[in-house]
């Protein structure tokens, strides 16, 4: 019996993908584990693997087309087997967005449009057909200027504010030769409702990754009330541990961030409530501690996820974190790399950042913002000495996580870094 191959959800945020290329041609034999196609998602280019043996009978979504998650993209079966026609037609590839420079959409109608003092319909209609900026149209309506007779001085002959004012006799030239006329419109705000127009610059469409980041971050700040708690961690012992371990082959490439990851897992294990999230109006408590590592890429961010970090040894954290980040930066993350996170870390210590807050990744209840480790005076045994101090701020969803939970988590996190033998257990 033929088997439908559907577009899988390759990351937590994926709703659709674009087939970049098919690695297997129609009619070719397929074995379990073969790569069928390469797909562009909102985060990275990923490969779709076959879980069946047979023949690729039909490609339902050609290369270059989009398909929603769950949509049938191909059919695998036995040679000569009939293929059904139940597949959803592929979505057309999105056309590039080209900003319109010379045409502005008319503003939506308001109650003022029906008042006795509104601009005549013939005037509005003619002004919508000419090349004029929204600001110029607004001023023209206020000054009762018909834009059809105005010569534009902006880019490509576009009419801008000063052209309208000059046509109304209110520009600089008119002011120099006539008495100042009575005001014909009022300004409602101290900074002036009509502002200086910018005629230069460019518009660039957001990349798919940036669109996803913008949508997810707006979703987070509008749905989850963020609450922040900060602590200072003395990092001297953690830095000494790193210096010792980095000489050993099994810890090659160990960094402070690896110690931070392990310390976060230690804190979450002691305060699992911070590892929770709001889901469908209820508190979701996962049975794993899966930590997302926010990683910068050219043009955006990606979050590789380490699974069950609390059960990993420190050397496994070093190896797995480095491998996942390397795959992400090479543009070849596995599908499991980008899903299943329960808590995230944003580390900006390499950028000389003293302190910052991070936005919670939707679907999670908290995120830790890690700053630079800096030398500063600290008190040890009643004496002032120079120490290495790192600030860390946890952002939590205050609907389900309160200040006591957040501060207790930070206490365990701090303990693990200041007494790093706890990280080796």
Q: Which residues are catalytic?
A: 398
Distance CA 387, CA 18 (A): 51
Distance CA 52, CA 76 (A): 8
Structure tokens at 57: 């009978």
| Residue pair 13/220 in contact by the 8 Å Cβ criterion | no
User: Residue 410, class by beta-carbon neighbours within 10 Å (0-12 exposed, 13-18 middle, 19+ buried)?
Assistant: buried
Query: 268: left (phi > 0), else alpha (psi -120 to 50), else beta?
Result: alpha
Classify the C-alpha dihedral 155-161-165-170 as positive or negative: negative
| Helix, coil or strand: residue 413 | helix
User: Residue 172, class by beta-carbon neighbours within 10 Å (0-12 exposed, 13-18 middle, 19+ buried)?
Assistant: exposed
Distance CA 128, CA 147 (A): 9
Q: Which residues lie below 8 Å from residue 272, measured CB to CB, with a gap of 6+?
A: 285
* DSSP 8-state class, residue 365: S
Which DSSP string corresponds to 221-255?
Answer: HHHS-EEEEEEEEE-HHHHHHHHHHTTSGGGTT--
| Helix, coil or strand: residue 392 | strand
Structure tokens at 265: 């897992």
* DSSP 8-state class, residue 21: E
Side-by-side strand order, sheet with 305-306? 226-234, 383-397, 366-380, 343-347, 291-293, 305-306
Report the candidate in 131, 188, 139, 189 with the shortest Cα–Cα distance to residue 162.
139
């Amino acid at each position: 019996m033929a088997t439908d191959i559907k577009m899988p959800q390759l990351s937590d945020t994926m709703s659709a993908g674009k087939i970049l290329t098919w690695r297997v041609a129609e009619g070719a034999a397929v074995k379990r584990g073969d790569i069928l196609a390469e797909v562009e998602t909102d985060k990275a280019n990923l490969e779709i693997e076959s879980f069946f043996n047979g023949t690729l009978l039909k490609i339902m979504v050609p290369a270059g087309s989009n398909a929603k998650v769950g949509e049938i993209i191909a059919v695998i079966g036995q040679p000569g087997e009939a293929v059904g026609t139940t597949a959803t037609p592929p979505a057309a590839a999105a056309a590039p967005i080209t900003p319109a420079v010379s045409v502005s959409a008319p503003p939506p109608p308001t109650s003022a449009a029906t008042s006795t003092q509104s601009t005549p319909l013939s005037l509005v209609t003619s002004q919508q057909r000419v090349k004029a900026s929204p600001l110029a149209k607004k001023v023209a309506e206020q000054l009762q200027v018909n834009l059809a007779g105005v010569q534009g001085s902006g880019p490509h002959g576009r009419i801008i504010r000063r052209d309208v004012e000059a046509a109304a006799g209110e520009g600089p030239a008119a002011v120099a030769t006539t008495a100042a006329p009575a005001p014909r419109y009022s300004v409602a705000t101290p900074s002036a409702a009509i502002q200086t127009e910018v005629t230069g610059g460019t518009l660039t469409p957001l990349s798919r990754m940036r669109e996803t980041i913008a949508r997810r971050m707006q979703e987070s700040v509008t749905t989850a009330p963020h609450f922040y708690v900060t602590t200072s961690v003395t990092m001297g012992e953690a830095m000494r541990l790193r210096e010792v371990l980095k000489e050993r082959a099994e810890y090659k490439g160990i960094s402070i961030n690896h110690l931070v990851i392990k310390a976060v897992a230690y804190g979450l294990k002691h305060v699992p409530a911070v590892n929770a999230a709001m889901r469908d109006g209820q508190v979701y408590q996962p049975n794993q501690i899966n930590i997302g590592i926010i990683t910068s890429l050219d043009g955006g961010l990606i979050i590789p996820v380490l699974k069950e970090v609390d059960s990993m040894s420190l050397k496994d954290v070093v190896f797995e974190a480095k491998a996942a980040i390397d795959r992400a930066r090479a543009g070849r993350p596995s599908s499991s790399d980008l899903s299943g996170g329960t808590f995230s870390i944003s580390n900006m210590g390499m950028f000389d950042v003293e302190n910052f807050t991070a936005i919670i990744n939707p679907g999670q209840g908290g995120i830790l913002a890690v700053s630079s480790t800096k030398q500063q005076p600290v008190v040890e045994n009643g004496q002032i000495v120079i120490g290495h101090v790192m600030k860390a701020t946890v952002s939590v969803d205050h609907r389900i996580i309160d200040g006591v939970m957040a501060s207790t988590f930070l206490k365990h996190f701090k303990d693990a870094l200041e007494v790093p033998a706890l990280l080796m257990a």
